[in-house]
Structure 1
Amino acid sequence: MTSWIRWQDSLWPSPGDGRAPRRPWGGRIERFLPYALLALSTVLSLLLSGNDPAVTLKLAGIAAAWLLVSFTLVPARWAGHPVVVAVSFTGLVAIAAVLEAHDTVFLIFMITGFFDAMRLRPAPLALAGVFVVSALINTLPNGGPIQAFAEQPALWLVVTLVQTAAIGGGGLVSAAMARQHAERKRVLDELAAAQEENAGLQRQLLAQAREAGVLDERQRLSQEIHDTLAQGFTGIITQLEAAAEANGDPAEWQRHVGTAMALARENLTAARRSVRALGPQPLAGATLPEALDEVSRLWGERTGVEVRFTTTGTARALHPEIEATLLRITQEALANVEKHSAATIVGLTLSYMADQVTIDVRDDGRGFDPGVVVSSGEGGFGVPGMRARVARLAGTLHLESEPGGGTAVSANLPAIALEARP
């Protein structure tokens, strides 16, 4: 019984399920099919039968009035109520039976009873209604159900049962498809909601990362100014003071002034490097693959190390924070290779996947013990800084190396599309 109720409810929701009741036919067909079948039957009867037209029109008028009162004009909040449906069905079948008994052509109108029967609840009652309509539509032209079943009970029982099973089977198939569609829609809706929630969390994460990045950049620049610029200026002042004291010794004076000039040039280079570090300039007018290709090419030309850059997957525009982080990780990794690795070949791979993007930097250098903190010494963060960068964006950094075995750095970040920008 429970399965039948589920089947019936999946086809015709009850008023309490939050949806408006619907009938087995929809839209205009739902509203006009009964009237269309009644009109067709009436016209055929008037044209083809020898019955009294007045009686035919009177009976047809009664049927139309019943449809209007019990079907069309019923308020929406009552339309699916089991009692209202049962009353509507009973009156419809009774009037249709009288019409069919009056003229067999009205069996066309009796077909409406099948649709009305399938609105009944619970489902076994709907099947019973289909059985009644089937029995009437088949036996009325043969003397009525009592006479037909009395004379040939097996024949008419089989015909009625087969027709009922066929219509009920169609309902079962329709119900199964409706359940599958509803379940699929529910799953898709949940997935869409989960994706939207995930996108919101990612936007929030990026906003937090941006705020944390501002603080990190301030701390980094403060440390860099202290470690490079401030110390450089101190050295310049010291050399100039020494030159002033050696004013009587031209050679010593020249040596101190030359040293001060060299320190000034180094400080200027460091200052320019700090300014460039404020923003990923290679990304200003290029895509991420183009920027990485340019960075790796220039780095290879400067260091004399062969760089093999490749891109896999479908390249697409990502959130600026993601692209900037990937670029910074690459620059930091290449700086570490230059300073520590003594490599001859570097492999750089940018991989786009469905929901992730990865940058891999591999070299054939001397390698090192991963337990030792590595810093590029070029104003970067080193390995701990790279880990901090990717961690802020819910990513991961993997480092593999061993003495004499080269080094591999892999940064994995969520592939947040440019449209996800808050």
Structure 2
Amino acid sequence: MLVHPARAGRVVSSMTAVQHVLFALLLVIGLVRAVQDGAATVPLLLATLALVGWYAAGARLGRRAQDQPSAPRPALGAWFLLGLALVWVALVLISHELVWLAFSLWLLAGHLMTTRVALPFSLAVLGVVVAAPWHALGAPPGAAGIIGPAVGAAFALALSRGQQRLVRENIERRRLVESLVRAQAESELLHAELASAQRESGILAERTRLSRDIHDTLAQGFSSILLLARAGAVADADRRAELLAQIEATASDNLVEARRVVGALAPQQLEGSGLASALRRILDAQADETGVATELRVEGDLASLPTVVEVALLRAAQGALANVREHSAARHVVVTLTESDDSVRLDVVDDGRGFDAAAWARAAPSAPELGGYGLRSSRARLRELGGGLEIESQAGSGTALSAYVPLTQAFSSHPVDHEEDHR
């Protein structure tokens, strides 16, 4: 039966108090009978004071043992009880009426001694109880004089052993409660650390999203505005008016896109259409701004792609076309969008000046000044969907970029609601 540690502690304290009261009561009874029997007063008083002092010292030691179970040595209690027994034997020599205290000695033996030591000790005390009246009265004790003390000794040992077991269980329960409290405190600390890590992870993910979207949308829009403004500086009046209209349209689109980036919404180009239509509009705008010939090729059914896949491929296309506009000096660019049974692929190929893709791949992570953040962010975005980004280019031979996403993983992670996401 499980007992609450606090209740068990109260039970142990109550039983200990009963033992002290019993010891005092038996001592008083023995002293009264000894005085009535004509025992010498001074030796009896000195021996009694010695017994009470020794017992009080042992009681204090017992309280320390209860509060700090690991503090006292087990042998110390046995030596205390042997000393108490010697003082008691001295009292019995003064008056055999003090044999009454043997019951308290048997109780203490069960508490302070191991069973191997407690049994011979109890037998020795029983021998004193039986022999003292025989020596004092000069007549051997009867059967009751032997059986009675023997039963008392057995009862006292059994009672003290039960109380000792209760004490040990109380100590173990108290240790268990303390261990549970420590475990709970550690669990709360770990929970707080986990919550902090999750918050930091969320912050990092949001920063990554914002950096990617800002690069793929706002930065490219500003780049287009800059190129249009530079062209307008040397254009005639009619061309300048046309360029100003394009600048206004690009700035307006960037403003809308900025609001959508903050709200983590889908790109404006994907609203009310699909990925192919969005790519066609981007290519037409680039052709108008730069004069580069553009071509879009679509193969397969692309009407039910998950939005997250469309966003990833659109961002990859925007990043690739931004590089074509700013770095390649290309005359022609072809964008091919292909859907197969298990994947969708976007290819962007230009006939520009190209670059050493292998050297860039080796140097880019440790040399951010070389650029290419958009390519790295596009690759990271695609990898989150189980896809990837491949680049093939050599100086003077153009560039080919290929982005792909496996549809099986994309659909399982981001199921499409065909009623709400119908293009």
Give the TM-score band, short-chain normalised.
0.3 to 0.5
Q: TM-score, normalised by structure 1?
A: 0.45
Q: TM-score, normalised by structure 2?
A: 0.45
Structure with bigger gyration radius: 2
